[in-house]
Amino acid sequence: MKQKSDVQQGTLGLMVLKTLDVLGAQHGYGIARRIEQISGDLLAVNQGTLYPILLKLEHEGAVASEWGASENNRRARFYRLTAAGKKRLQAETRDWEQTTAIVARFFEVKAGDLQ
Amino acid sequence: MPDSSNFVTSRDDRRLREEMEEHLQMQTAENIRAGLSPSEARRQAVLKFGGVGTVREDYHAETSLPFLETLLHDLRFALRLFAKSPGFVVVAILTMALGIGSTTAIFSVVDATLLHPLPYPHPEQLVRIEEDFPGLGARDVRLSVPEWKDFQRSGIFQYVSPERSGSVDVTGSSQPARIQFKSVATNYFALLNVKPELGRVFNPDDATPGFNLEAVISDGLWKRAFGADPHILGKTLRLDNDVYFVIGVMPPDFHDQGRTTELRNTEIWAGCGFSALPSPPPARSTRTLKTAIARLQPGLPLATAQARLDALVASLRKQFPADYPPESGYTVHLVPLGDTVVGDVRQPLLLLMGAVGLVLLIGCVNVANLLLARATARGREMAIRQALGAGRMQLIRQLLTESLLLSLLGGIAGLAVLFLTRKLLLEVIPSTLPRINTISINWTVLLFALGVSVLAGACFGLAPALQASRLDPIHVLRQEGRGSKGSRSQTWTLRALVVTEFALSLVLLIAAGLLLRSFWDLYKVGLGFDPENVMAVSLRLPAPNNPSTDVYATADQEARFIREILRRGQSLPGVKEIAVGSQESLPLNHDRNPVPFVLQESSTHSDLPHQVQESSVTPQYFHLLGIPLLRGRLFTERDVDAAPKVAIVNEAFARTCWPNQDPLGQRLKLGGADTSWTTVVGVVTNARTESLEDANIPQIYLSSWQSTDKNLAIFLRGSLDPATLPQQARDMVQSLDSELPVFGAKKLPDVVSGSLAQRRFSMEMVLLFAVTALLLAGIGVYGTISYIVSERTRDIGIRIALGAQRKTILHMILSQGLALALGGAAVGLAGAWIVSHLMAGLLYGVRPADPVTFVAVTLTLTTVALAACYIPARRAMRVDPLTALRYD
C-alpha cells in the first residue's frame, strides 16, 4: 500500500510543479481543480492528499507560499514555484520523458521483432 | 485518534488543518453554486476530499516517529483499560510478580555461583591439576614436589602452585585464634592475578625451599585482629609459634578459591617452596602436596593443554617406571577451576532454575488463560475496531502492548519484593553455597529480569492476541445483545493451555516428591552411630616449622596432654563420658584427608597410593559414639607409642582389603613406605561418619596414644548445657595450655542435620515451587471450567428443561475437568520421567522412576483438578432453566 502511494505522490508532485509552472501562483484548491480538469476522471485521487505534498515540496524548497486573498476574497494560501522548483521541474520532466520513451519503445516492440 | 500529533511539529499540523478546511469550504461553495443544497454540497466536498484525519495521520507517519507514537498511544490505551478492570490486572500482575520475582532470585544465585565462580581475571585459564592411579582405584591423589616442578617447566602453564591448607594458631592477641591457612607457592597470587590492597604479595620468583616467613593476610583478619592498623606491613605474626612477617593485605572483595567453604575463607597465606623443613626431602614417591592449581598459557585451549600434558605424562611414565608402573595407569588431568568451586551445587542449582522456570511458565499460562477469557469478552470491541478500519497488525500490536505492560509491571513488582526481602532470602540459603557473599541484584540480574519479563509477556500475550485478531467482525457484531461467544478454537486453546499447565506442574511435583523421599530416607537412615547428647569441641595444637620448638612433638608428649584433658573433662558439669580424637574422627566433617597405605600381603607395588580415611581416637571413642565392635578388641591404655602400632578398621575396609581373609592380625603401613607396620586388632561396624549417603566408606582408626595429630576434637556425652559447655571446655583446655585455641563447639545432632542443609534447601525450594505450581494449575482449571460452564449456561438450561438429571450435568462437567487433568497427566508423566532421570544424581534411596511417587503425585493432581472443577460444576447443576433461557 505504501509503495503504491509513493509512486502516486511522486507523480502528483510533478503535476503540482507543472501546474504552478503553467498557471503561476495558485492556491491549493486551484491546483486541485486544475489537476482534476486536465486528468478528468482518470485520476481517482483524494484531493486531500494534495496538501501534505504541498507541505513537503515547500519543506524541500521547490515551492514557496504565503497567505493571500482568493478571487472570491476568501483567505487562501498561494503557492508559487521557486527557482529550485523550476530546476527540479525541468529535471523531473526530462526523467519522466525518458522513462515514458523507454517504456513506449518496449510496447512498440512486437514479439516477432526480437527473432 | 485525534491526539496522536504530539510528536509532529504542531505548526505544520495546524497549517494543514486550516488549508484543508479552506479547500473544503471552497469546494462546498462551488457545489452550492452548481445547485446543491448546502448540506449535500458539504457532503460531496468531503467525499471528494477524502478523510481529513487519514491525510493528517499519513503525514505524521511520514514525518515523525510513528513507532514511538503508536507505542505511547497503545500504552495510554492499555492503562485506561487496566483501570477499568483492576481485579484482572491485580491477579495478572501478582502472578507475573511471583514468577518473575522468584526466577530472578534463583538467577541471582546462579549468576554469582555458576556464571562467575572465580573472581579473578581470565578465569578460563585457571585449572586444577588432578592425578589419578585408576589401576589402583585411587583418584585425585596428592602430588609430589618433582611432579610439580615438571609441570612448572612444561611450558603448558604460566604458573603452577601447590596448595596445602589447614588452620594455624595465631597467638599474641587476647584470645588465641585458629585461622584458616594456606601454604602456597610464591607464585600463587601472580597465578590468580590479584593485587593486594596494602603492601605486596610474594615474589613469584622467590626460590626459598621452605617457608619464606612472609605472610599475606585477608582484609577481614586485618580489620578483626589488627584494628585495620595502617602500619601492619612488616609487623610479625606468630603462627604455631613461628614468626612470620606481614607483607600484604588482600582487598575486601578478594575470596580464595577452593572446594569447601573453609578453603574459600582462607585468611592467611604463607609462601613456601615445599622442599625443605617441615616438608620431607622431595622425592617422586613422596606425595605431600594435597592439591595444585595452575594458569594456562594465554590463548592455550584446555584440550590442547591436556593433550600436551598427556604427552608429558607418557614420557614421565617411561622415564620413571618404578614410580609409575604401567598397571597403575598414572594419568593427570586438568579440571576447570570453576568446576571445582561449584562442583556439587551445579546440579541442584540447575534443578532449582528449571523448577522456578516451570513456575514462571505456569504463571504465563494462567495469565494467557485470563487474557483469552477477556478476549472473548472484548470480542465486540475488537470487531468494532476492525470494522472501523484497524488493521490486524494494529490489533495484535495493541494486545501485545497490553500483555507486555502487564508482565513488565509484574516484573517490577517482583523485583521490588525481591529487593525488599533480599536479606531475609539470603538467610535461607545454606552458608555452604560457594560465593554466597557475592550474590547480589546487579545489572546482569536486572537485565535478566527485564528479558524474562519481555519474553513472558510475549509468551502469554501472543496466543490471545492472534486469537482475538482472527475474529470475524461481522459474525461477532451480528451476535449483538446475545453476549459474544468464544469460538470453538478459542475453547480449544483454553483447554490446551490447562493441559500444559497440568503437565508442567506434574513434572515439578514429581521432582519435588522424589527429592522429598530422598531427603526423608536420608533423614531416617540408620546412622551406625548415636549422635544424641553428644557435643564436640575442637582444639588445635601448634605445629611449628622447627620440631625442636614443638612441645607436642612426640606421641607420648601429646598423649600426656590428652590424658589430662580426659581426666579434667570428666568432671565438667553433666559429662558422663569423654573421648578425644583427631579432627577426622568428627562425624560428617567434610574436610577429608585420606592417607595412602600399603598392605603387607599385597601383590601390588609397594609405593603406590591406596588411600583410606584415617583418624586417631582414644579408647573411649567407640563406646561414646555407640559404634559396636564386631571382632577383636578396642584400643587399650597399653597401646602406647613404645608398643606395637595397632589399628581398628571398619567392615568396609576389611572387606575391601581382605575379602576372603581374617582381617585380625593383618599388617599395613600408613602414610608412606618408611613408617613402621601397623597391625589390625579389631573390626567395628560401618558408621556413616563420613557421609550420610554412603555407609561403605573404608575407614581405619589408630590409637591416639600412638599418633601425633594436631587438630583434635573432644567428644562429651551426657546431659550437657550447650550454652555454658563451650566456655567450660575452653577454660579446662587453657588451664593446661593458655595458648591453645578452643573453637567450633557443636552438638552432633546439629552436625547431622547440618550435613543435610543443602539437600534440605533444594528439596524445600522445589517443594515450594511445586506447591505454587499446583495452586496455579488449580486456579487455571477452575477458571477454564467456570468459563466453559458460563458459555454453556443456555445449553445446560435446555438440557435440564428437557429433563436431564442434575447429577448427569455434574458428571458431564466433572468429566470435562477430569479429561483435562488426565491429558495433562499423560504429557506430564512423560516429561517427569525424563526430568527424574536427569536428576538421578540428586536422589538417594529412591529410583528415578519411583512408582509410589509417580502414582501419588498423579492422584494428588487429579484430586486438585476435580476439586477445582467441583465449584463450577455445582453451579452448572443448579442452573435454573427458566433464567438460563431468558438470559439471552
User: For residue range B90-149, what is the model confidence (pLDDT) as tens digits?
Assistant: 888 998 999 999 999 999 988 888 888 888 889 989 999 988 887 766 777 888 888 999
The alpha carbon of B317 is separated from its chain's Cα centroid by a whole number of angstroms, namely 40
Closest of B609, B577, B531, B592 to residue B143, by C-alpha: B609
pLDDT band at B780 (very low <50, low <70, confident <90, very high): confident
Q: Among B9, B16, B23, which would you mutate to test the A interface (most chain A Cβ atoms within 10 Å of its Cβ)?
A: B23
Of A49, A51, A74, the CB nearest to B26: A74
As a whole-number percent, the residues of chain B with pLDDT over 70 amount to 92
Q: Are A47 and B48 inside 8 Å of each other by CB?
A: yes
Please answer yes or no on whether A55 and B12 come within 8 Å at the CB atom. yes
Please determine, for residue B240, whether its predicted confidence score (pLDDT) is greater than 70. Answer: yes
- Rounded-to-integer distance, Cα B53 and Cα B351, Å: 56
Residue pLDDT, tens place only, B824-836 = 999 999 999 999 9
How many CA atoms within 13 Å lie on the side-chain side of B326? Answer: 1
The position carrying cell 554412603 is B694
- pLDDT for B566: 92
Interchain proximity B50–A55, CB inside 8 Å: no
To the nearest whole Å, the CA of B24 is away from the closest chain A CA by 9
CA B124 to chain A, closest CA, distance in angstroms equals 52
- Which of A3-7, B256-260, B301-305, B432-436 has maximum average pLDDT? B301-305
Instruction: Say whether B23 and A70 touch across the interface (CB within 8 A).
Output: no
Pairs of residues, one from chain A and one from chain B, whose beta carbons lie less than 8 Å apart:
58
**What average pLDDT does the segment B774-802 reach?**
82
* pLDDT tens-digit readout, B461-480: 887 777 776 767 677 666 65
The minimal CB distance from A49 to the residues B12, B25, B50 is found for B50
Taking the CA atoms of B526, B529, B534 and B536 in sequence, report the sign of the dihedral they define.
negative
Is the Cβ of B58 closer than 8 Å to some Cβ of chain A?
yes
Whether chain B has a CB inside 8 Å of the CB on A55: the answer is: yes
Region of poorest pLDDT, from B23-32, B193-202, B487-496, B828-837: B487-496
Residue B851 CB neighbours (<10 A): 8
Question: Is pLDDT at B695 greater than 90 in this prediction?
Answer: no
Whether A65 contacts chain B with CB within 8 A: no
Q: How far apart are CA B71 and CA B487, in angstroms?
A: 29
* pLDDT by 10-residue block (mean), chain A, 115 residues: 44 85 86 80 69 85 84 81 90 88 83 58
- What per-residue confidence (pLDDT) applies to B213? 85
> Distance between CA atoms of B214 and B202, rounded to whole angstroms?
7
CB B202 within 8 A of CB B214: yes
Q: Which residue of chain A has the CA closest to B50?
A: A46
Interface check B48 vs A, CB under 8 A: yes
pLDDT the model gives residue B743:
83
Quick one: closest CA in B to A69, which residue?
B22
Rg (CA), chain A: 17
pLDDT in tens, B279-297: 777 778 777 888 899 999 9
Task: Judge: B55–A75 Cβ closer than 8 Å, yes or no.
Answer: no
Q: HEC string of B520-567? A: HHHHCCCCCCCCCCEEEEEEECCCCCCHHHCCCCCHHHHHHHHHHHHH
Confidence at residue B590, expressed as pLDDT on a 0 to 100 scale: 65
Residue of B nearest to A76 (CA): B22
Chain B interface, best mutation among A36, A37, A51, by max B CB count within 10 A: A51
Task: Tell me the per-residue pLDDT of B349-407, one tens digit each, with 9 for 90 and over.
Answer: 888 899 999 899 988 888 888 888 777 777 777 777 777 767 777 788 888 888 899 99
Q: What is the largest CA-CA distance in chain A?
A: 65
Contact check, Cβ <8 Å, B16/A46: no
Per 3-state DSSP, chain B is made up of helix, strand and coil in percentages (nearest 5) of 55, 15, 30
How large is the average pLDDT for residues B738-757?
85
Tell me if B284 sits within 8 A of B146, measured CB to CB: yes
Q: C-alpha distances in angstroms, B778 versus A82, B821, B871?
A: 74, 10, 12
Could you check whether the bond before residue B663 is cis, i.e. omega within 30 degrees of 0? Answer: no
Residue-wise pLDDT for B796-808, tens only, equals 888 888 888 888 8
A49-71, pLDDT tens digit by residue?
Answer: 788 888 888 888 888 888 888 77
Is the pLDDT at B672 greater than 70, yes or no?
no
Q: pLDDT tens digits for B484-497?
A: 455 566 677 778 88
What pLDDT, on a 0 to 100 scale, did the predictor assign at position A111? 61
Q: And the C-alpha cell for A52?
A: 501534505
Residue-wise pLDDT for B591-605, tens only, equals: 666 777 777 765 554
Please judge whether B27 and A29 are an interchain contact, meaning their C-beta atoms are less than 8 angstroms apart: yes
A49 interaction partners in chain B (CB closer than 8 Å): 50, 55, 58
Q: Mutation target for A interface from B26, B48, B58, B62: give the one with most A CBs within 10 A.
A: B26
